[in-house]
Amino acid sequence: MYEFVDRPVTSLDHGGRFLVWSMRSWVRAMGDKRCPGEVMAAAFAKWNMTLGLQPFLRVMALFNRHGLETFGFCQLQCNHISEHEAIIMSMVCSLRDSRPEAVRGVVEQLIDEEFVDHFIGAMSALGRSMDQASIFPSRSTRSLRAG
Is the pLDDT at 54 greater than 50? The verdict is yes
Overall number of domains in the chain: 1
142 inside domain: no
Print the domain residue range for 110.
9-132
145 inside domain: no
Give every CB contact of residue 138 below 8 A, 6+ residues apart in sequence: 13, 15, 16, 93
Is the pLDDT at 145 greater than 50? The verdict is no
68 inside domain: yes
3 inside domain: no
∠ Cα 19 106 70 (to 5°): 70
Residues β-bridged to residue 80 = 8
87 inside domain: yes
Q: How far apart are CA 103 and CA 137, in angstroms?
A: 16
4-51: pLDDT as tens digits: 777 789 989 999 999 999 999 999 999 999 999 999 999 999 999 999
CA atoms within 13 A on the CB side of 8: 8
pTM of the model: 0.88
58-110: pLDDT as tens digits: 999 999 999 999 989 999 999 999 999 988 888 888 877 666 667 888 899 99
